[in-house]
Chains A and B, each alone.
Chain A
Amino acid sequence: MSRTLLIAFDAGDALNGAAFCQQTGAYDVIQVMGEPKLDLGAETVTTWNLPSQPPAEYLANALKDVCANYTRIVAVSSMQAKDGLARLAGLLDWPMITDVIELLGETKFKRPILAGSVITTVELNASTCLLTFRPAGFGQPTIGGNSKHESIKPTFTGVTKRVSATVREGGRPDLSSAKVVVSGGRPLKDAETFEKVIGGLADALGGAVGATRAAVDSGIAANELQVGQTGKIVAPDLYIAAGISGSTQHMAGIKDSKVIVAINTDGDAPIFDAADFGLVMDLYEAVPELTEKLKK
């Protein structure tokens, strides 16, 4: 009998992961940080309520024994999910499938390879597995249910020590689950300009800020804002790309967005082929004008 355990690192994961889990059948949730906000049809929701994310070594050790009750251990794709679940795969000696984008029955899955330039169908030849999935392809979850709630204090063992950690400044929605994302590229000349122009439009729309790898590498945007195959995969209702040419690497991270807008002075930039609406214009004119007019 198939049974799924969703490892939700926070309430956002519990929500973003629910639609996928509802399609796999009966499921339970372990939520690492925060309190469950909605009933999403899980049978049991176990809350750890930790003040910060545990290192993968501690997480995997704490989860190892409970996994025996399940056939699937799943998590929404993220850096911490890949860090922790793959370690758990090593402890359990279970196979793992990374970045599932579509379910084709209980043992067949679709997943991208080569930075999203090829999609493969893979078949699991084992009774159990761990997997991470990108929630964009699984629709909206059914809200409601009768979950049993429990709160436990996990037993952590390990030798890793955290020295320090940065905490995201509050205010803007989480990039991976935001309804609107405004991203900027290398043409934004410095961090201050980036924040003023891109951040200004994002705030006018209540959206999150993203950036290209080039913008991050040149130091004008923070690492965690990077959108693309090696950064965050986003799928908002509206994605606005300003001063972004549209590398394969970047497009792999945004192609599931509902509406893509491109603003770029180079009318031949590849992003215009994928954008629903392209505006060939200097972003320093277009973005402030858009910000002003959308504020009203």
Chain B
Amino acid sequence: MKILVPIKRVIDPYAKVKPLADGTGLDLGNVKFDINPFDEIAVEEAVRQKEKNSEIQIIAVSIGGAEVEEQLRKALAMGADEAIHVETTDQLDPSIVAKELQAVTEEIQPDIILMGKQATDNDNNQTGQILAARLGWPQATFASHVELGDKSATVTRETDTGEETILLPYPCLITTDLRLNEPRFIPLPGIIKARSKPLHKRERQTTDTPRVAVLDYVAPAGRSGGKKVGSVDELITELKAKGVVS
């Protein structure tokens, strides 16, 4: 069984990122980059499944410039068997990424694609669903528990009103939510071993250009809060004056 895990290099999700003063981009001066946390959860899940079933082969894939090799090596260190680097410096959007991943999928024919529900930089939450639709595969987004059977995956997924469990025949696509697992700390031998694992490079297969352009970046309007009250009674008086309690 093959699991394909697409990963994205993103701005460190814990960094405080501000727009440039002229609004033309983000101030990335000292910002670090990492695997998108939801994709890291996907790698972790694939590795845990492999620990239960040694027949599983895990292939990580990333699209971007030479720098994404760092994130692919991390996925290999976590336990992926091989990596594919789709080399490009082009501007991408979720639809282009899905089309490139479709080309990779058609070539290596995985049984399962496991990927993050969204990337923490652009917060689009689209790529997995677009890819599943293009492949004609069933999808389970927002996964919080995954069981892989012989012919199908049983996935518990978070919903707006709680959770549901669905059954997807293979091949299928699963996107991960926060509560699926906590990615492991990578031991040193894993990092060393990752250096000798295969990392294949390939070119883009499609020629689409983004259909949505970002025109500017600004900081959100702040709230002018900060007033303190001294007691519950004072709070109630203020809330009544605002008309939000009666």
Contact = CB atoms under 8 A, between A and B. Distances in A.
B126 interface: yes
A79 B139 CA distance: 14
B212 A124 contact: yes
A165 interface: yes
A275 B159 contact: no
Max count, chain B CB within 10 A of own CB: residue among A53, A99, A118: A118
A290 B239 CA distance: 11
B141 interface: yes
7 contacts: A78-B160, A83-B141, A87-B129, A90-B133, A118-B17, A160-B167, A238-B245
Given A95-B212, A275-B226, A290-B235, A166 B163 contact: yes
A259 B122 CA distance: 28
Given A117-B16, A273-B226, A56 B217 contact: no
B186 interface: no
Contacts of B239: 238, 259, 261, 277
A249 B210 CA distance: 28
Given A88-B133, A113-B121, A120 B158 contact: no
B165 A217 contact: no
B217 A258 contact: no
Nearest to B140: A160
B168 A224 contact: no
A97 interface: yes
Contacts of A93: 95
Contacts of B26: 114, 118
Nearest to A89: B130
Interface stretch (A20-28, A147-155, A278-286): A278-286
B161 interface: yes
A294 B236 contact: yes
B226 A82 contact: no
A122 interface: yes
B235 A279 contact: yes
Contact of A125 (B18, B121, B211, B238): B211
Contacts of B95: 89-90, 93, 95-96
A19 interface: no
A56 B177 CA distance: 17
Interface residues of A, number: 85
Contacts of B130: 86-87, 89-90, 96
Contacts of A90: 95, 98, 129-134
Interface in B159-179: 159-169, 177-179
Contacts of A277: 227-229, 235, 238-239
Nearest to B215: A121
A289 interface: yes
Interface string B6-37: 00000101001111000000100000000000
Given A95-B93, A290-B232, A115 B120 contact: yes
Contacts of B178: 213, 217, 230
Interface in A155-172: 158-168
B226 A87 contact: no
Interface string B63-101: 000000000000000000000000000000111001000
A16 interface: no
A20 to B, nearest CB: 18
Contact of A126 (B140, B163, B211, B228): B211
B229 A167 contact: no
Interface in A52-110: 53, 55-57, 60, 78-80, 82-83, 86-91, 93, 95-99, 108
- Closest 7 pairs between A and B when the two form their complex, measured CB to CB: A90-B133, A166-B162, A86-B129, A90-B130, A165-B164, A95-B211, A238-B244
Max count, chain B CB within 10 A of own CB: residue among A55, A80, A113: A113
Contacts of A275: 225-227
B106 interface: no
Contacts of A114: 11, 17, 26, 120-121, 123
A45 interface: no
B144 interface: yes
Contacts of A238: 239, 244-245
Interface string B173-195: 00001110000000000000000
Contacts of A164: 164-165
A125 B167 CA distance: 38
Max count, chain B CB within 10 A of own CB: residue among A53, A168, A279: A279
A78 B228 CA distance: 34
A120 B159 CA distance: 27
B235 A261 contact: yes
A294 B235 CA distance: 11
A190 interface: no
Contact of A224 (B11, B161, B235): B161
A132 to B, nearest CB: 9
